[in-house]
Amino acid sequence: MVLKLKVTKVEDWIVMTRYDFMINAAKNSRYKAKPWFRYLREVIFEDHTYLTEDDIENLLNLTELTAFQKVTLKCAVQIGLPTHAHVMSFNNSANIESVRKLTEEVNS
C-alpha cells in the first residue's frame, strides 16, 4: 500500500511508501517530539504496524533520524512498552470532565 502526499495542486500527487513517509516525517519533525509521535501514530496501531521489519531496521540506520527518533521508533513498535502506549494515546479523546476538575484544582 502507498500513501499519497498532496504537493501543490490536485493533479500533483507524489506516491510514496510508508518507509518514504517515515523519512519525510523524521525530517519534518526533527527535534520536535510531539509531531514525531503523531507521525508514528500514522503507521503504528494497537496490534500491528504498517512498517516491515526491514523498514524499521533501515530507518534505524539512517542519518536522517535523530537518536531520539530512533529510540522512540524502536520502542513504539514493541507492543506493551510505554512508548507504544503513548503513541496509541494519540487516538484517544480527552476526558473533558477530568480536564475540568484538574483545571479547577489548579485555579483554586
1: amino acid identity, one letter:
M
**pLDDT at residue 62 in the model:** 94
Helices 18-28 and 33-43, packing angle to 10 deg: 170
Q: What is the mean pLDDT of each run of 10 residues along the chain (108 residues)?
A: 49 71 93 93 91 95 96 95 91 77 82
Cα(77)–Cα(74) distance, integer angstroms? 6
**pLDDT at residue 3 in the model:** 54
